[in-house]
Chains A and B, each alone.
Chain A
Amino acid sequence: MNRMSRFNVTAIALGFAFLYLPILLLIIYSFNESKLVTVWAGFSTKWYREVWNNQGLMDAAWVTIRVGLLAATVATVLGTLAALALTRFTKFRGRTLFSGMVYAPLVMPDVIIGLSLLLLFVAAGFDRGFWTITMAHITLTMCFVTVVVQSRLLSMDRSIEEAAMDLGATPLKTFLQVTLPVIAPAVVSGWMLAFTLSLDDLVIANFTSGPGATTLPMKIYSQVRLGVTPEINAVSTILVAIVATGVIIASVLTKRREVQRRRDEQAAFAQ
């Protein structure tokens, strides 16, 4: 392998610094003893204890997680179905319109999605709260799941589904025994993407939430307006840790499967 030139090393270091320095600062200051965010006064974990005891923050975290799990799951089911419809039934009436509409939320500004959903919920007379946020998040994240699953379906060999039917499996059995296991990795990553998006969202949640249902990003945002406290740093650090763990596990799993696969293939051709 080529040794990296000094220019490359600098470029990479600068790039990483640009991306991760803010997060690093946030993590460091979450362990700050002092109540003043910008003055270092020694190591302490007391802000984590404070978070644990802060009922408001804990409630918000709980709402966020419930919304995330539910929205991601429903969005994954609907998104997968939409992807199937788009790739498998290529000739139904209104297909172009349907695919356009599925992808619209992908490019629509959050503010507009939020506002239109708010209008809808008000017009329909829904009580705003947990359920409206969840519905809004399903709308938002479904199209991402569709994109991820659709690309897997397109690259999948259609003839294995035909082979299953040829061997006597009904379309439903074919889907459950052949299609789903093959696209499972894409469905799982679609779910994770949906969950993260839901976890992240501030704008749409703001429009569609009501009294009694505050998500963590909303809570953090409202507290920050009163001044950043080390508590917020601690919550954020926990969030970063959760997301990072997820990403690391996912990539290790993929990597390991890839390595295993390559070894198997070599073994197969070596004989």
Chain B
Amino acid sequence: MKSLGSIRRSFAPWNDSSAKPYISFKNVTKRFGDFTAVDDLSLDIYNREFFALLGASGCGKSTLLRMLAGFETPTSGQIILDGQDLSQTPPYRRPVNMMFQSYALFPHMTVEKNIGFGLKQDGMPKDQIAYRVAQMLKLVKLEKFASRKPHQLSGGQRQRVALARSLAKQPKVLLLDEPLGALDKKLREETQFELMDLQQDLGLTFVVVTHDQEEAMTMADRIAVMSAGKVVQVATPAEIYEAPNSRFVADFIGDVNIFDGNVVSSEGGKTQIAVSEDLTIVAEQNGSGPASGAAAFAIRPEKVRIAREAPANPGFNAVKGEIWDIGYLGDMTIYIVKLASGQTVRASRLNASRELENPIGYDEEVWVSFDDNAGVVLKD
């Protein structure tokens, strides 16, 4: 058997220009009164993809899912599923199931009945329903709670019932709105991997909304970062992290240091940015960086080095500062360095050995440096 990892590594239909998207949002806009919740959004999702929507609260993630499920009609634009325009299809005929953010369990039905509801609507025979329900209960570890009513369950248990109910029909597309928000860390991680396995095994397309970037990074093939009703970037987790296309994305995903400056030269595949009197950044050019004018350089804390000794070429990708704060996190330590310009820089260091000899301490003078391919140049 192939491992999950090797299957996933070879899965990249978005790079294949002949692959047809399974779900397409085409210039979709949704207005509530004069408030625009989703703004001229276009997005392609491929068959068997595990797709995550990431964004701040209120940016329109749920609205997007609700339009796909059929509970909201787009003000303009088209939603295409498997080659068919969905606008005339009512929710109960769409091959899409949704797990609701509010769980939306039927309060008058037992856990079993809740999970079996969709199967019953399809007219599945009773014994098959019972079998599938038992399978689902096992999956979400709620066998003991089969005959309880929703109000007899804790928040996390309810969430698992909602998950089981949406999975029971094994729809072609499963929409999950914050599926794991109420679970504790351990159960959450377990469920993440179970969801990934399930999605692979059944060959389903998952669209997951989450607040939690770590969760999105772990589970998704691709992530769409949303802001104010628009998609800012769609890319694989690694691309989003290593090559954010805007300051917003860089800032939103993980920790980042951003240096603002002006482009002084842009030639030979390198961009030079003047940041302050004592620092000029030389960075490899990449797609989204400007060739002149204001620019920003974004670099992740783990790619920033700190040392007591001056590097070979001070002033270029290296600058002096003073340790301002130290945060010990166990597996790594975060150093916050204050530069002469007043800006602070975060640098993280893995604690690879148990005892550091002569560790860098508070108020020490240090050099902060990085490689020219360690960060990205962004527009302003």
- A167 contacts B121, CB within 8 Å? yes
CB < 8 Å neighbour of B153 from A169, A182, A268: A268
**Consensus secondary structure, chain A interface:** helix
Question: Quick one: CB contact mask for A157-183 with B, threshold 8 Å, 1 for yes?
Answer: 101101111111111010001100110
- Contact of B91 with A by CB under 8 A: yes
- B104 contacts A157, CB within 8 Å? yes
Residues of A within 8 A of B14 (CB): none
28 contacts between A and B (CB under 8 A): A157-B102, A159-B104, A160-B105, A163-B105, A163-B165, A165-B70, A165-B92, A166-B70, A166-B91, A166-B92, A167-B92, A167-B118, A167-B165, A167-B169, A168-B92, A168-B122, A168-B169, A169-B121, A170-B92, A171-B92, A178-B106, A182-B106, A182-B108, A261-B151, A264-B149, A264-B152, A268-B157, A271-B154
Alpha-carbon separation in the docked complex, A10 to B117 (Å): 56
- B100 contacts A167, CB within 8 Å? no
Alpha-carbon separation in the docked complex, A157 to B158 (Å): 15
CB < 8 Å neighbour of B154 from A168, A171, A182, A268: A268
Residues of B within 8 A of A173 (CB): 121
A-B contact count (CB 8 A): 74
CB closest residue in chain A, given B152? A264
Number of interface residues, chain B, beta carbon within 8 A: 29
Residues of B within 8 A of A160 (CB): 104-107
Footprint of A on B, CB under 8 Å? 69-71, 90-92, 96-98, 100, 102, 104-108, 117-118, 121-122, 148-149, 151-154, 157, 165, 169
Residues of A within 8 A of B104 (CB): 157, 159-160, 162-163
Alpha-carbon separation in the docked complex, A110 to B96 (Å): 53
CB distance from A12 to the nearest CB of B (A): 35
Residues of B within 8 A of A157 (CB): 102, 104
**Consensus secondary structure, chain B interface:** loop
CB < 8 Å neighbour of B152 from A163, A181, A267: A267
Alpha-carbon separation in the docked complex, A268 to B144 (Å): 12
Given contacts A182-B107, A264-B152, A269-B154, 14 further A-B contacts (CB under 8 A): A160-B107, A162-B91, A163-B98, A163-B100, A165-B70, A167-B118, A168-B118, A169-B92, A169-B121, A182-B108, A264-B148, A265-B151, A268-B152, A268-B153
Which residues of A from 110 to 166 have beta carbons under 8 Å from B? 157, 159-160, 162-166
CB distance from B159 to the nearest CB of A (A): 13
Which residues of A from 225 to 256 have beta carbons under 8 Å from B? none
Shortest 3 CB-CB contacts between residues of A and residues of B: A167-B118, A168-B121, A159-B104
CB distance from B31 to the nearest CB of A (A): 15
Alpha-carbon separation in the docked complex, A71 to B299 (Å): 75
CB closest residue in chain A, given B118? A167
CB distance from B370 to the nearest CB of A (A): 48
CB distance from A159 to the nearest CB of B (A): 4
- B153 contacts A162, CB within 8 Å? no
- B152 contacts A265, CB within 8 Å? yes
Residues of B within 8 A of A178 (CB): 106
Alpha-carbon separation in the docked complex, A178 to B151 (Å): 16
Alpha-carbon separation in the docked complex, A177 to B120 (Å): 11
Alpha-carbon separation in the docked complex, A106 to B151 (Å): 36
Residues of B within 8 A of A167 (CB): 92, 97, 117-118, 121, 165, 169
CB closest residue in chain A, given B145? A268
Residues of A within 8 A of B69 (CB): 162, 166
Alpha-carbon separation in the docked complex, A201 to B121 (Å): 45
Alpha-carbon separation in the docked complex, A79 to B151 (Å): 29
CB closest residue in chain B, given A261? B151
Alpha-carbon separation in the docked complex, A180 to B258 (Å): 57
Question: Quick one: CB contact mask for A202-227 with B, threshold 8 Å, 1 for yes?
Answer: 00000000000000000000000000
Report which residue of A173, A177, A182, A268 has the largest number of chain B beta carbons within 10 angstroms of its beta carbon: A268
Query: With A181-B108, A264-B151 in contact, do A162 and B122 touch (Cβ < 8 Å)?
Result: no
CB closest residue in chain B, given A271? B154
Residues of A within 8 A of B98 (CB): 163, 166
Alpha-carbon separation in the docked complex, A164 to B69 (Å): 12
- B151 contacts A163, CB within 8 Å? no
CB closest residue in chain A, given B144? A271
CB distance from A260 to the nearest CB of B (A): 10
Report which residue of A157, A160, A267 has the largest number of chain B beta carbons within 10 angstroms of its beta carbon: A160
Alpha-carbon separation in the docked complex, A100 to B90 (Å): 32
CB distance from A102 to the nearest CB of B (A): 26
Residues of B within 8 A of A264 (CB): 148-149, 151-152
